[in-house]
Structure 1
């Protein structure tokens, strides 16, 4: 993945630090293969020339190596040879790179492979943009997965986060349904139950945070440039809620130079279930060429149901419908400024729960009531960037509103049908302002400040459909009104305000060794209160809990790393990083309880050789040790309701590795694995009372062993057609639903397989894909309804599914 186009296209301006030479003079030039944006900056430093660009898309042009004794103008001509750009000389020391001719229409996702197409330019440098300093991959001290969105076909983009889970071995998830899952990286998992605690994995769309005290919004991946998954705590740069790492999704920016777009549609059929389909469209429209452009994405997806409910005599009850839109406006008033204003909206409607019961037969369960869920997600963001040569200022401000409504079957044996509803409304306001200096070879620094306000507002109710007004209570203190009338039960409201300053700097104490030091200082103001407290709760108890929650805390998170590439082609690194999550209030057995901050410290070491997909052999491996204190976990209380508690201290050992082979240009083989040994070695008192004395407990939801094997084949068929074939198999090992004996049910231990083929001709692509080839019935998630923890519930993989799709670029 290359460095972000919306970073370097604004300007490539650099002035020599010493007495500047005239750009027309012949000088010693040494430029490595890479992107035009980086090459222009380096050339400016070496010659003292001032080099600007008119169009952000030009910065992503791949450039060859240029070495020798020549003028800046001659070097620029070599860089631009064969590209769709030319130079315009302003004076003897100032140049402007402009588009030479109208660009070609957008190409389809996959290359055509036509014989008449000239060979591609040299590959651009892979840059980790989630580092916020745009570090070249060989100079990034840590484990990172870079997923090029060109690898996604229309069906994978329609699948959202599921497409990432199938490609990144270290990424795992619960499977309660789209829009209500929790993502985990490595073994940093608290529980599969949805309570008020903050996520362990940070999720971002560009620079904007997607969630806080809420599940994965599961955005569809249409019109994305790529995805970056940074493993391990990211506390210095990303703050609270990045204990396991971050997932950063990068959308395509508006193109200032050309109108165009793409359409995609597909139909799917699921064995044992209903058909489904997806439709999307992308439109790019320059409003003022080279100055203002608008890009709009719209989509709709239906995932056919495949779970039957015998008790209600309903078939395929778990259908899910998803629709959304995203729009971005880019304004480039001059060569130094870039302004992006964007927004998105997505709605997920799940008709019923995703689980089945083993005793009822495959893909079957018995429920008294339907259990629908809905996710309503809105995001607004404004981003401003200003660049002065290798100095860059970025400001990102945004607002998120995420409303998740869930329902659970609360029917008790011998009682009338009952339904428990929970509505969690999360609002986030965040702003970050940072100043970055990018130097050569991964050196440089970042200094920033951020502010965040987040509110999680949980409301709950219990509805009985019996005819008697006096019934046995399911939740103590909550009346059973009957006749479908809802009775409110106690919820919680948590608020947090975070003010932060952070910094990180990389320097080279000795040649070939890069040291990086960083730190984040955060002041958090937390408060909480009860929503709709039931009458049996004492006012004094409520006031005491709220007083405990109302507090201010200051936390410092340090980080340090060492990296060397003294061995040619090999990167060795060691890294220390911390992360934390703030505390808050939760309901526990109809009492309001405070849960404390938790904190992780990770020490890891690894190596990297080659770049996946570019070099014939690319290998990476990592060994990590994590110490996790005062672990926050979403658990169930004695009634069965989701709550949050500190469950004790734990430790995690992680070993992972990946090898990517290209025995020939047409074939890529990709194999990866991760092993986690996670233990709750100092459980809290309430868990020790429930467990065998001295017994060590495993942390939940993340498999001890997972791995992936994939093969990708691309070849031209003739002068007009190209063929793309891919196949993959992913093994997910055993894990447990939660911490302790109540949630100790085993899950996982299955293989998920996929196969796809596509034919591309010019702007059109026809694709065929098969998911779950073996029609596996493996258990992805063992939770059904928290009001019944005795039944052997399981969440099966989607049965064998075939999809045929058509994409067309214009």
Structure 2
């Protein structure tokens, strides 16, 4: 006993000395519980957050050189808590009943060398939410527009997920359902077509600061080890340029943690009713390479999704098994003086064994095809990002290379004819750079100024495979070179009133040519493939008023565009023009999303859409693209949440759309008066629940239900099938500690069949084809962290 006392005293003194020393702290933005874990690992201390609702609150990044006590006080201040010492090397964060002003005065640490953090304006005792997708670190209260920020750990609760989880959480986000790696995403009522063709997407998708693709489908990257996902609604042409007519989705990965060695992962197995089993495996490793100067973060995912569609004519069942393999490496070098260099590589491979659509008239979940359909999708991206500070001005330069491939196979067998398979191959390559300077709006004025260059080339080829021959069909190549200058600035006219204006000038050089085109037809239409150029100016204006500390109103005008290109039309190629949107929007926000007593966000937008690019069926029965005319779209959205009890929060969202094509220019567009693939009403409701079970055990539960209203498949009488009008649902429960836990998840709780998408193969339009929901699936998983 006497020998134990000196040892204990020595340990206590050593721990106290360690706490008194400044250390490099790097806790990424996210949930307070995750930030506490990061600070504890880096300081060798213990940090416990007493209340689940405190642990679930969002906090900004905490980076710099601090003592352990100073880092804990910063975290406590961010969530409105009070740190209580627990032993010689630990703290317990408990709710602080004192007024916000008193908390800021008592908890403010002395100034330290750290990354700049925006300070809350006078009278607000909460750490402000920063909209990083604004490209200038703008406070949410000053941002004019609707944005949803999804917490990364919440998205990945219960196993690996892709873009479907974003659509499940945001009522205004919808998708086609051809299969993982080949879908098109839509935000609000801005949708063009059901097919993957030469048109650029209406939603801009970004990984960090670099776009994922130009005119290729959603790669459906796994949302593993994400800090957050930002969804910006409405055109974002001024800051993001072409292809953001409906909005943008920005994936923000967790950054490497300097000086920390960690390993975490999970494994799960699933069982699908009426189908085959599945499995998944994932791992995340954080490895220091040179002390705190260089760090590597590795992510790996593998998943197999059991099939559930039967093909009786082939004597096969559960044919549509899908395998997904992917990962990324994120290396960061701290170059000193506030400068960092990031090198990021990511890739994913998706293999769909067969189609996931069924016959409406046959037995449930069956397809009367005599061929094996399916698809293969591959995606690779590399990034080099340099970030630094020039006094009060910040700089970031992002350079990236992208290669994306998609091969799709469709049943093209005619009645009473031998089997025939249609194969379409889309190969896209992109090189892009964006460099920008910005000054955050910490006083009355903030701005961003940037330049970008994008080169994209896409090759679309087609062929028919039959038992007796291989017939090559007409193909097309499109290329675009874009050079852009953009800028935006905000000025605080008075307390609570911010005006913002910006503009973007883009010069596009367009080129392309047909492949395997009849020589005589090519000569007749030689002018179609001639190179051409266009210059576009996209302005934006907005005004934001903060009537109360937690309430903002805004009015906004924004434009977007997509360049033209070449499309296959029967046996030759023809040109389609660029299209453009102009949107007026009114909106309001109250509270902070996911925290506080309640939060509410609502908007009303009107969009004028000119020269709409859309797809329909050509005389040969193949998808083609044309400008179908002008149209207009009205959209109203509302979302919010309320804390109904300790640890329990309810949330919901509603999106209403009304569209009309009022100046049709093709025969196909005269058959429809609305934009395709967009339901009049989408709605969702959900809950988040956390409860301490004692002894470090925490129960976490999430559940949601989503209704997707009726919509129409596409343009023209051949694509007039209705789809939608179904209810989907899911529930996930996890029980465990921070470093180990068991989870149980159930999707499609009601085992509804539904019809997510009324297209399987374009060669059987006019027949009843449906894409059913995945039947009820139960997953059991285990997660570990070291």
Same fold (TM over 0.5): yes
CA contact (8 A) 1:493 1:529 kept: yes
Cross-structure match for 1:486: 470
Corresponding residue to 1:511 among 472, 483, 495? 495
Cross-structure match for 2:604: 623
Corresponding residue to 2:543 among 562, 570, 574? 562
Corresponding residue to 1:528 among 487, 505, 512? 512
CA contact (8 A) 2:73 2:107 kept: no
Residue 251 of structure 1: how far off its partner (Å): 0.5
1:194-209 aligned within 5 A: 194-209=196-211
Cross-structure match for 1:800: 776
Moved over 4 A (4+): 2-6, 33-38, 51-55, 57-61, 78-83
Corresponding residue to 1:323 among 322, 325, 331? 325
Instruction: Please say if 1:789 is aligned against 2:765.
Output: yes
Counterparts of 2:206 and 2:365, CA distance in 1 = 34
CA contact (8 A) 1:463 1:486 kept: yes
Corresponding residue to 1:313 among 312, 315, 320? 315
1:688-699 aligned within 5 A: 691=671, 697-699=673-675
Residue 360 of structure 1: how far off its partner (Å): 1.3
Corresponding residue to 2:528 among 545, 558, 562? 545
Counterparts of 1:611 and 1:390, CA distance in 2 = 28
Corresponding residue to 1:147 among 123, 128, 150? 150
Residue 240 of structure 1: how far off its partner (Å): 0.1
TM-score (norm 2): 0.86
Unaligned 5+ segments in structure 2 are: 1-25, 31-56, 81-102, 116-124
Q: 1:752 to 1:439 in 2, by over 3 A?
A: same
Cross-structure match for 2:135: 132
Residue 290 of structure 1: how far off its partner (Å): 1.7
Residue 52 of structure 1: how far off its partner (Å): 7.0
Residue 443 of structure 1: how far off its partner (Å): 4.2
Counterparts of 1:82 and 1:329, CA distance in 2 = 34
Counterparts of 1:154 and 1:180, CA distance in 2 = 24
Q: 1:65 to 1:762 in 2, by over 3 A?
A: closer
Q: 1:206 to 1:54 in 2, by over 3 A?
A: farther
Cross-structure match for 2:566: 585
Residue 446 of structure 1: how far off its partner (Å): 0.2
Residue 787 of structure 1: how far off its partner (Å): 1.0
Residue 80 of structure 1: how far off its partner (Å): 12
Residue deviations 1:232-284, cap 9 Å, x none?
00000000000000000101111112010211111000000000011001000
Q: 1:314 to 1:800 in 2, by over 3 A?
A: same
Equivalent position SS for 2:257: coil
Equivalent position SS for 1:233: coil
Counterparts of 1:286 and 1:143, CA distance in 2 = 38
Residue deviations 1:9-54, cap 9 Å, x none?
xxxxxxxxxxxxxxxxxxxxxxxx996879x9xxxxxxxxxx9789
Unaligned 5+ segments in structure 1 are: 7-32, 41-50, 68-77, 88-93, 99-121, 466-481
Residue 750 of structure 1: how far off its partner (Å): 0.3
Corresponding residue to 2:746 among 761, 770, 786? 770
Corresponding residue to 2:251 among 249, 252, 267? 249
Equivalent position SS for 1:361: coil
Q: 1:742 to 1:304 in 2, by over 3 A?
A: same
Counterparts of 1:301 and 1:633, CA distance in 2 = 34
Equivalent position SS for 2:764: coil
Residue deviations 1:172-218, cap 9 Å, x none?
00000000000000011001122111100000000111011110000
1:82-121 aligned within 5 A: 95-96=112-113
Q: Does 436-445 or 305-314 show the bigger shift? A: 436-445
Cross-structure match for 1:62: 75
Counterparts of 1:463 and 1:370, CA distance in 2 = 12
Residue deviations 1:504-537, cap 9 Å, x none?
00002233210000000000000010122245x5
CA contact (8 A) 1:433 1:448 kept: yes
Equivalent position SS for 1:305: coil
Cross-structure match for 1:730: 706
Counterparts of 1:204 and 1:365, CA distance in 2 = 36
Counterparts of 2:73 and 2:532, CA distance in 1 = 48
Equivalent position SS for 2:548: coil
RMSD: 2.6
CA contact (8 A) 1:456 1:493 kept: yes
Q: Does 382-391 or 362-371 show the bigger shift? A: 382-391
Counterparts of 2:158 and 2:574, CA distance in 1 = 44
Cross-structure match for 1:756: 732
Q: 1:617 to 1:591 in 2, by over 3 A?
A: same
Counterparts of 1:81 and 1:394, CA distance in 2 = 36
Residue deviations 1:611-634, cap 9 Å, x none?
022110101110000000000012
Q: 1:656 to 1:3 in 2, by over 3 A?
A: farther
CA contact (8 A) 2:309 2:366 kept: yes
CA contact (8 A) 1:123 1:614 kept: no
Counterparts of 1:411 and 1:65, CA distance in 2 = 63
Counterparts of 2:148 and 2:58, CA distance in 1 = 20
Instruction: Please say if 1:397 is aligned against 2:395.
Output: no
Cross-structure match for 1:117: none
Residue deviations 1:309-357, cap 9 Å, x none?
1121110010000001100110002132011000011000000111000
TM-score (norm 1): 0.83
Q: 1:496 to 1:80 in 2, by over 3 A?
A: farther
Counterparts of 2:71 and 2:415, CA distance in 1 = 67
Counterparts of 1:175 and 1:80, CA distance in 2 = 53
Residue 540 of structure 1: how far off its partner (Å): 1.0
CA contact (8 A) 2:176 2:677 kept: yes
1:661-676 aligned within 5 A: 661-676=642-657
Query: Aligned pair count?
Result: 703
Q: 1:79 to 1:397 in 2, by over 3 A?
A: farther
1:439-450 aligned within 5 A: 439-440=441-442, 443-450=445-452
Cross-structure match for 1:178: 180
1:43-442 aligned within 5 A: 62=75, 64=77, 95-96=112-113, 124-156=127-159, 158-440=160-442
Q: 1:544 to 1:262 in 2, by over 3 A?
A: same
Residue 679 of structure 1: how far off its partner (Å): 1.1
Residue deviations 1:422-481, cap 9 Å, x none?
11100111000000001226840000000000011111111111xxxxxxxxxxxxxxxx
CA contact (8 A) 1:5 1:60 kept: no
